[in-house]
Amino acid sequence: MDLDPQLTALGALGGFFVLRTGVPRRGPLPTLARAYARPRGDTTGEVYGDPMIFRVEKVARSIAAPEARVAASVAQQGLAARLWSIALGSAVVHGHLPDLDPELLRWDPDAAAPDDLWLTEVRARPVTDLDEVVRAGHLVPLGAALRDRYRVSPGLLWGNAGSALAGAVRQLDRWAIAHGRPEAGERARALAAGLLAHPDLAGTLDPRTLRRRSCCLYYRVPGGGVCGDCCFDRPPGPAPAAADGIGTAPAHPARPKPAEPLSARSSASAPTE
């Protein structure tokens, strides 16, 4: 199946799967390559200055983040969710990927969630390039940019990436069931299982429950609480171990609602202790 030049079919999968094409209506927008780059000299003449810092500061204001690293984590997870969703959705619907080269993707750091992305040229890549396109092409330089600016833990960021990938799979599975396309859900799970085998992502999620093994720090946001897949059962109290965002799951965690393994559809039951 060929790629739709406008990628319109992706919009039917949900907001995180939408990818605009052509020249952005709101411009000039920076490329993601520009956002990932190290800050360069005086950027006061540019619309957004440093696009990554602009985005994190916008997120910080919108969620009343108590510190910049919390906003950096939330911003990174949102962008990771967009990139995984677009690539995985296209692989499932079209059987190909759009080339998401950071030089081709324009990004509006001032947009509301989900992140507004524009692909200036649509060209196909094989599904076998999925890891190269998203993890290597985006998540590695995105993580480096955030660590450089905000000293965010690598384990936190890869945990966010694993959680975002699992979220994309769940959304695709819901769409597949609703549209009588069970093979699409199977395909999404199989692809995600392969992606999660990479050393950067391996171990970020419990393979039985998809509960993550690190914390994104969202509990520090006023009224934020813990996410549905958090390693914590409840917001932890102030403790030195939580400062870097890498939490250790409690010895006897409360069992979350069980999620299906990514590798195959099953009637998974809660894990035994």
- The model's pLDDT over 41-80, given as tens digits with 9 standing for 90+, comes to 665 556 688 999 999 999 999 999 999 999 999 999 999 9
**What's the pTM value of the predicted model, to 2 decimals?**
0.83
- Give residue 189's pLDDT band: very low, low, confident or very high (50, 70, 90): very high
Helices 68-94, 182-195: axis angle to 10 degrees equals 130
114 cis-preceded (ω within 30 degrees of 0): yes
The answer to whether 234 and 228 have CB atoms below 8 angstroms apart is no
Q: 174: Cβ–Cβ under 8 A, 6 or more apart, which residues?
A: none
Instruction: Find out whether the peptide bond into 109 is cis, omega within 30 degrees of 0.
Output: no
Say whether pLDDT at 120 is over 50: yes
**Which of 14-23, 84-93, 190-199 bottoms out in mean pLDDT, i.e. has the lowest?**
14-23
Burial (Cβ within 10 Å: 0-12, 13-18, ≥19) of residue 50: buried
Mean pLDDT of 245-260: 35
Residues 26, 72, 34, 135: what is their CA dihedral angle, to the nearest 10 degrees?
-110
Q: Is 252 exposed, middle or buried (0-12, 13-18, 19+ CB in 10 A)?
A: exposed
CB distance 20 to 119 below 8 Å: yes
AA identity, residue 196? L
243: three-class secondary structure by DSSP: coil
Q: Rounded CA gap, 28 and 114, in Å?
A: 19
Distance CA 48, CA 202 (A): 35
Inform me whether the pLDDT recorded for 233 exceeds 80: no
Averaged confidence pLDDT in the chain: 83
Q: What pLDDT was estimated at residue 76?
A: 97
pLDDT-derived band at 124, boundaries 50, 70, 90: very high
Q: Which of 133, 128, 139 is nearest to 191 (CA)?
A: 128
The closest alpha carbon to 231, from 161, 159, 158, belongs to: 159
